[in-house]
Amino acid sequence: MTEEQFKEALAELAELPAAELTMTDTLAAAGIDSIGIFEFLMKLEDVVGDHEIEVNHDVRSLQDLYDAVLEGTNLEGTDLEGAGLENMDGAAG
């Protein structure tokens, strides 16, 4: 999963478009709350299968969440274009 794919997927739940998101943004500044994180992780699980992604109080920025996703999955360097992450609508589905 590239940073761009991550931001595109996360933008569906954020208050900012992907083009305005930076990896140093806090989740709060991007408008992503704990429910948004949960929805994102559920959609990710739907696309790539069940993984152990640890998100705790230390995850404050987009970079922190991205790192947690990469650490909990085997997606580093994986191109997920067309995998369905870009359509987060109905993620709880």
Digit-coded pLDDT (tens) for 4-41 = 988 998 999 999 999 999 999 999 999 999 999 999 99
Task: Tell whether 77 is covered by a domain.
Answer: no
Token output for 18? 């992907």
Task: Tell whether 81 is covered by a domain.
Answer: no
Digit-coded pLDDT (tens) for 36-76 = 999 999 888 887 777 788 888 899 999 999 999 888 887 66
Task: Tell whether 39 is covered by a domain.
Answer: yes
Whether 13 and 92 have beta carbons less than 8 Å apart is answered as no
What is the CB neighbour count within 10 angstroms for residue 7? Answer: 22
Task: Tell whether 83 is covered by a domain.
Answer: no
Task: Tell whether 91 is covered by a domain.
Answer: no
Whether 18 and 78 have beta carbons less than 8 Å apart is answered as no
13: domain CATH number? 1.10.1200.10
Task: Tell whether 93 is covered by a domain.
Answer: no
Name the one residue in this structure whose structure tokens are 């987009």. 62
Q: Which domain holds residue 64?
A: 3-72
What is the CB neighbour count within 10 angstroms for residue 3? Answer: 13
Q: How many domains does the chain have?
A: 1
Name the one residue in this structure whose structure tokens are 């704990």. 34
- Does the pTM surpass 0.85? The reply is no
Task: Tell whether 87 is covered by a domain.
Answer: no
Whether 15 and 31 have beta carbons less than 8 Å apart is answered as yes
pLDDT of residue 87: 55
